[in-house]
Structure 1
Amino acid sequence: MTVTRERPGRGASPRTARAINDRLALRLLQEEGPLTAGQLKELTGMSRPSVADLVERLQVSGLIEVVGESGEDRRGPNARVYGIVAHRAYVAGLDVRVGSIGVEIADLLGRTVARSSVRVPEGADPAGVVESGLRVLGEARRAAGDVPLHTVACGAPGLIDPATGRLRPAGLLPRWHADLVDEVRHRLRVPVLLENEVNLAAVAEQRIRAARGADEGDTFVLLWIGGGVGAGVVLDGRLRRGNSGGAGEVGYLPVSRSGDLPNAADCDDGYHGLVASEAVCALAAANGFAPDPAGDAAAAASMVRAALTAGPAGTAFLSELALRIAIGAAAVCAVLDPGRVVLAGEIGEAGGERLAVLVGERLATLSPLRTDVVPTAVEGGAILRGAVITAMEAAQETLFAPAG
């Protein structure tokens, strides 16, 4: 684990210096877990009296508490072990998809305390869907013990306008997404953050890869292959959203089997129509798999999992799917040269290591750029996990700056 130590600059006021040191100590307690005052001294480089003042200050602020004693074999009493007061604040993540709404409630350390979800039928009344979303959020809160929420983060398909922070649905996406986010803001009266859902999946991916070290989380493109298609772009450790919030809208790449082109209102004749769930289900049927009329992400993922053990027919299906995915990956790599492409989404996750290897082999024939293709490191619920992380970090930014 690498911690960036923010040092007070020359001329910084004592209050500013204390706030910087407090944030550093709290970040260490979050990432390392409970620590003794001696361990905080070693990790921060602060003096013993400064650490003692810091610990007292954070205890008075209600941000840390004694969670035990060290088991060190030494003379005298064991040292107290301090940890973050995780129940000081609770956050919520919302995954607002075309066909479902998912909610996760977590504490200040990102530990899940409740989850709930609801399906959204095709053609459902928009006002009814908004009420369903609010109801499922309420159910999750009640399951968590009616905890008050400090911050909420929502992930939804479409473009997030950088100037307004509002959702601009792209193409044929339903318009109720923006209404739901607005209504959550109105009713809860707490900070509600909004982010493209694939970007949130990239946030979750980055967190797990960064924890592994070796700069795994620094630069990569997460390619989401599911009911829809998108990309989350992380360069030099930063999520990149683009000028209009549209970085990663790879569904509109002008590549299709028919040779037709997508347009601003419809990406079915773009990369979306080549690798999204309906196309994957059709490809599976063409290779002898029983067709699934649903054609949704769950059905496509099921076809991919079946193909992994289906012999020659499965191999042919996966080989063609890998080529299709590699075509879009090659376009992304030609512009960004990320060095790593992560396959995510219901279909990418279902294909696992085998599909990643096949895509990597195909990509190597299409592009001279050295690119590793790997399966996602997040097992299920990547969008919700990214939303919780985003809400948690925003809450911490507010709470981890104690006055005094």
Structure 2
Amino acid sequence: MTVKTVHAKQLHHDIEHGKPLFILDVRNTEDYNDWKIESTAVQSVNIPYFDFLDDNDEIYTDLPKDAEIVVICAKGGSAQMVAEMLDERGYDASYLEAGMKEWSQFYHPTVIAETDSMKLVQFNRLAKGCLSYMVMSDGEAVIVDPGRHVNEYLSYAQEIGVKIKGIMDTHLHADHISGGVQLAEQTGAAYYISENEMKGATLSYEALEDHQHIQVGRVDVQVLSVPTPGHTPGSTSFLVNGKYLLSGDTIFVGGLGRPDLGGKAREWAQSLYDTVFTTVANLPDEVLVLPTHFADTQEINEDGYVGASLGEIRQNNEIMRTADRAAFTDAVAGAVGTTPPNYTEIVDINRGVRQVDPEQAMELEIGPNRCALKHQ
């Protein structure tokens, strides 16, 4: 009997809808501990593939017979072999066909708001904790912080029947490759990013500093008059209809963006302080903050998207209330943690000074994001 294959979209659907599943990850323990399929709805265990080659009955003891066991590996081959071994022993087993490689490229769209004049959708790339957005109105759309898998946005726009008018990056990303330039080339849309992010760049772009307002149908995507630096010097947030703050990596549901990736942690932390206590301080508590990354799947709210009101974030994160500049700087600069792997190469790609093929791009992006640090 041939064991069943599962694709990322179906696996996510089954998890979301409460199907009895058990995830068996057969990668080595170090890789599993660093990066895995995260969900509070299913149990996940790690038993490395090589352990199954010993034909030791004890490793099967804790595997359930009353749930489907979905076997996961890096690219699918080892998972298939283990799933076949489980099937021979009477387990209900399947495997993720292309493994974590496939999971890392899965995007899940969720509608955040929809009115007669506007629709706002969040695209969640769960494996990376990366979030991007499409704002639509009167047949037009802008995309904010797109990932490199541009067909996700092109297909959605075609399905909804909108024309992509603009693509905007809140900053020069360090943990994933932007799809902004590629989308602009394929759609003829303008690509917007701060000129402070693109020094030395070889790419064509529209400087956000030259565009205080970007109109999309009946929607006013407002570039904040004062940029929101801190995570990077040119970080920019977008305020949509005065209600939705697409905050990039400046403000997260669980904290603030790390200021250290340019090697100037304390200097950039000072900029982040000014952003929080000057620019963002003028926004009301009711504004919904929609970041570009999240650190934990528990940040996905009951409506299925990552986001929280500014008032809630202020209340739950002490760093947002730490008005003493020195204390704020010490706290933010001292909580940066591990840097994103390959971040210098990814920054060079996003600036256009380095090119890679899709396989190299996938390898560079492997692993979780490390930009969304928590500050409690």
User: Shared fold (TM-score greater than 0.5)?
Assistant: no
Task: Find the structure with the greater CA-based Rg.
Answer: 1
Higher helix share: 1
The one of the two structures with greater contact order (alpha-carbon pairs below 8 A, sep at least 6) is 1
